[in-house]
Copies of this chain bind each other. A is one copy, B any other.
Amino acid sequence: MKKQIPDKVINRLTLYHCILKDFILEGNEYISSKQIAKLLHIDDSQVRKDINLLNNSGKSRVGYIVKELKKSIETTLGFAKDKRAFIVGAGNLGMALAKYDNFTSYGLNIINLFDNDPDKIGKEINNKKILDIKELPIYVWQHYVDIAILTVPAKHAQTTADFLVKIGIKYIWNFTPTVLDVPDEVQVWNENLMGNFLQFTYNLV
């Protein structure tokens, strides 16, 4: 069984990963926990503790070896594992996510978008075709894809979720400001933007 990594640590590890990518672009070979900690305004003992959870061997006297540490994070968090998904709702947010090429380096492969708007169906965005939502049941069956990214307007969120559940979707990444009522066997991850924002402003503003 793999080691359990707490959510907060996973979140920080992906931020370390962003930093490591920048360090590689800048041609740096080593990085210290202090350098990472300074950029994130956190304690460097926290950084070392997080990195100790990885199977990372790339530690030298002058710091972590950037490329090896990056690789360790990728292995531990399963970046290489192909996670196929589609977007439901080709509005601005759906479009923004479809254009976000950065996802693929984390193993998230968005293959298509779905919408019910005839003006949108058939168009392409970032090499991903927008398909008719009516085609989704057969599509899911043909493409073995079980992650749906939900970006429809809030008022259609629950009915769309009901439809997704009915056709066998098991994971919903929910960007709508709605709590979806789904059966226990369906996993929903609420991308709770306002919750995140209020965490940010609660203590600050």
Residues of A within 8 A of B (CB): 4-5, 7, 10-15, 18-19, 22, 39-41, 77-78, 81, 83, 91-93, 95-96, 99-100, 102-103, 106, 108, 147, 154, 171, 173, 177-181, 184, 187-205
Contacts and interface: CB of A to CB of B under 8 A. Distances in A.
Contact of A179 (B11, B19, B179, B180): B19
Given A91-B96, A102-B177, 16 more contacts: A11-B192, A11-B195, A12-B195, A14-B194, A14-B195, A15-B190, A15-B195, A22-B178, A77-B202, A78-B198, A78-B201, A78-B202, A81-B205, A108-B197, A187-B200, A189-B196
B194 A106 contact: yes
Indicate how many identical chains form the complex: 2
B201 A83 contact: yes
A161 to B, nearest CB: 12
Contacts of A187: 200, 204
Nearest to A10: B199
A178 B25 CA distance: 13
Contacts of A203: 4
Contacts of A95: 92, 96
